[in-house]
Structure 1
Amino acid sequence: MAHPVDVHVGKRIRHRRWLVGMTQQQLAERVGIKFQQIQKYETGANRVSASRLWDIAEALDVPVSFFFEGIENENAAEEGAAESVPADIMGDKEALDLVRSYYAIPENQRRRLFELARVLSDVA
């Protein structure tokens, strides 16, 4: 069974890769490994070594600490903490597509859309 930290790191790799619009093959080529290995990292089936995580962080243009962000919240959610947003919201492809589309909107329109979403969520 995969360790929860390995699963979390894998989800964060997938999350960042999706956000930058990179395929597993493209990431694998930048890191110098086969895309199947990226698949195993993203599912938590294989652990990512420190040096490989460093290479992945450079390829995805994030600090290594990015891959550990939110791990405390995920652990709290697993221990029964009530949350209105699923712990793995950024692991959801639809959510990532929504975020990517949101940032493609011009800033002034994006602010208005954000305010609309805030009002609608208060009504719900």
Structure 2
Amino acid sequence: MPSKKAPNPIDIHVGSRVRLRRMMLGMSQEKLGESLGITFQQIQKYEKGTNRIGASRLQHIATILKVPVAFFFEDAPGTPDETPGVGDNPQTTYVVDFLSSSDGLALNKAFVRIENPKVRKKVVELVKSIAGDEE
């Protein structure tokens, strides 16, 4: 049996950004797949980075998800903005993972609906205090 190559870190990153945006819009894998004329299993493979997304397909996904193509490459590993040893890439990965979770997404959706900036600030202070992250 041939050994499978590990997915490219950029493919994994782009896939996670597709997932993040799809979830932000409340769109299912089935719905995105349907819009692209492919199966939800293919969307799963894209989102995991198992299958690479071709340029024309990425452009189509960007159109459906209403974001510029560049959105999928923001904070990608190895991008020029990244300084080795100093970059906040693990932090970025943590944020993307959190926002891709159902709890993170629910918290984010509820938080952005809070219109009063003072209330938002108090919510952030509360969460920091519960987490034991006093600044």
Specify which of 5, 12, 32 is matched with residue 7 of structure 1. Answer: 12
* C-alpha separation in 1, matches of 2:33 and 2:104: 24
Instruction: Tell me by how many angstroms 1:32 deviates.
Output: 1.4
Residue ranges of structure 2 left out of the alignment (5+ in a row): 1-5
Match for residue 54 of structure 1? 59
Distance in 2 of aligned mates of 1:103 and 1:58 = 24
Output one character per residue of 1:14-40: Cα deviation in whole Å (capped at 9) or x when no partner: 000000000000011111111111000
**Which protein is richer in helix relative to its size?**
1
Are 1:14 and 1:91, in contact at CA under 8 Å, matched by a contact in 2? no
Q: Distance in 2 between matches of 1:23 and 1:98?
A: 19
Aligned counterpart in structure 2 of residue 42 of structure 1, from 27, 47, 54: 47
Post-superposition offset of 1:115: 1.1
- Describe how 1:21-100 pairs up with structure 2 within 5 A: 21-72=26-77, 76=82, 80-81=85-86, 86-88=91-93, 89-92=95-98, 93=101, 94-100=103-109
Mapped to 2, the partners of 1:38 and 1:25 lie a distance apart of 8
Following the alignment from structure 1 to structure 2, what is the Cα–Cα distance between the partners of residues 33 and 15? 19
2: CA distance, partners of 1:86 / 1:25: 30
Structure 1 alignment gaps of length 5 or more: none
Q: CA deviation at 1:95?
A: 1.9
Matched residue pairs, number?
Answer: 119
CA distance in 1, matches of 2:124, 2:105: 19
TM-score (structure 2 length as normaliser): 0.75
Distance across 2 between alignment mates of 1:80 and 1:19: 31
The TM-score, its normalising length taken from structure 1, stands at 0.81
C-alpha separation in 2, matches of 1:98 and 1:91: 13
Equivalent residue of 1:67, what SS?
A: helix
